[in-house]
Amino acid sequence: MSILLVFVQFITTVVLPQPITISSLVSEIEACNSDWISVGNISGLHYAFRGHLFGQHIAEEQLPVIMHGFFHDENPQRALVLSFHGRTGTGKNHVSSLIAESIYRKGMGSQFVHLKVPQRDYPDKNKLQSYKKSLREEIHSNVAQCARQLFIFDEVEDLPDGLLDVVKPYIDYHDKLDGVDFKKSLFIFLSNVAGRDISEIVLNHNSTRDTLRIRNFEKVIEKMSFNAKETGFHRSRLLESSLISHYIPFLPLESQHIELCIKEEAIKADFPHFPRRQSLKSWKNCSFGQKTLKSMPLKDARIFVKS
Ligand SMILES: Nc1ncnc2c1ncn2[C@@H]1O[C@H](COP(=O)(O)OP(=O)(O)OP(=O)(O)O)[C@@H](O)[C@H]1O
Ligand SMILES: [Mg+2]
């Protein structure tokens, strides 16, 4: 008996210095309250962008302002719907994650964040009707439980045609649907649609890149999205009814931005090598990953000095 007592004492004092209580366990379960969901943390988003987002001055300027307006409106007229456009590896998923992290303590791992990826979630175009039904149910049941939900639709160009029409009633100007209020939810669409047009605008701009404003892109993105055949956007009712609140362009990255991405990745991986200046031009965007960095031929590498 005394051995058992010593054992219990050892566990509770040495192995578990803080006793586990029911209330400490409950406090670790994610809930729909301000302990887990923080809508006032816009300065956090601002700093996250400053430190970890490169070459996207429009997203960096616009998104904190847009989010601040939405979250501080006690009675928004409808859900906030953002559409991110740009070429591959320019930061669309990255920014969605930073947004999720600024709102939800569990970031992308939160039960209130729903990432939809076409190849994984909607691989078979013949199953459109069942996908529509389950998406409708998922949105409805989640928002009924907690109003602050984030739905991210990745690679919209690969969504089955017509699936996005399901979203329309939830982002429209309805007061409530079946007793549920959808006006506090956030929807983000990510796509490459209009990526080439965005690049052309940047290339043809006669002044420095940072003088480009969101209005230089909005109309082109909207038009290209509506007309983009065989994409989730193509003539979708959501675009017909102008239900996208903001189109956000992601500009093509220049070598100085890619260099910053490489540096950040090298720090994260605690990796001592960095590409030589001459070989930097073979790095086309920021989606290379640590594997590529680590497999860089040594002749292309220089020692990385943390600054
Ligand atoms: N502008 C950027 N600033 C900082 N890091 C970036 C930026 N763009 C991309 N990255 C880095 O590259 C990785 C891949 O980028 P991301 O997945 O966001 O690209 P994407 O725009 O969604 O591309 P795709 O259209 O191919 O899906 C990110 O996880 C991030 O680490
Ligand atoms: Mg992406």
> Is 60 within a domain?
yes
> Is 18 within a domain?
no
Do both 237 and 263 map to the same domain? Answer: no
Do both 239 and 220 map to the same domain? Answer: yes
Do both 137 and 238 map to the same domain? Answer: yes
Do both 295 and 164 map to the same domain? Answer: no
Do both 291 and 243 map to the same domain? Answer: no
> Is 9 within a domain?
no
- CATH number at 224 reads 3.40.50.300
Do both 109 and 241 map to the same domain? Answer: yes
> Is 2 within a domain?
no
Strand partners of residue 152 = 115, 188
Do both 188 and 82 map to the same domain? Answer: yes
pLDDT in tens, 133-182: 999 999 999 999 999 999 999 999 889 888 988 999 999 888 888 889 99
For the CA of 94, the nearest atom of ligand 1: 18
Do both 120 and 268 map to the same domain? Answer: no
Give the percent of the chain with pLDDT over 90. Answer: 58
Query: Average pLDDT of 198-220?
Result: 96
Do both 72 and 170 map to the same domain? Answer: yes
User: Quick one: which ligand is closest to 86's CA?
Assistant: 1
Do both 291 and 198 map to the same domain? Answer: no
Domain count for the chain, please give it: 2
Q: Give the predicted TM-score (pTM) of the model.
A: 0.87
Residue with tokens 């992601």: 250
> Is 21 within a domain?
no
Query: Average pLDDT of 227-255?
Result: 81
Lowest mean pLDDT among 87-101, 172-186, 271-285, 293-307: 293-307
- Kindly state if the Cβ of 89 falls inside 6 Å of ligand 1: yes
> 146 lies in which domain range?
42-250
Higher pLDDT pick, 276 / 263: 263
Do both 269 and 243 map to the same domain? Answer: no
> Is 30 within a domain?
no
Q: How confident is the model at residue 201 (pLDDT cuts 50, 70, 90)?
A: very high
Do both 196 and 77 map to the same domain? Answer: yes
The contacts of residue 184 (CB under 8 Å, 6+ apart) are 76, 79, 147, 148
Site to probe by mutation for ligand 1, drawn from 261, 288, 290, 291 as the one with most ligand atoms within 8 Å of Cβ, is 261
Q: Give distance in angstroms: CA of 156 to centre of ligand 2.
A: 10
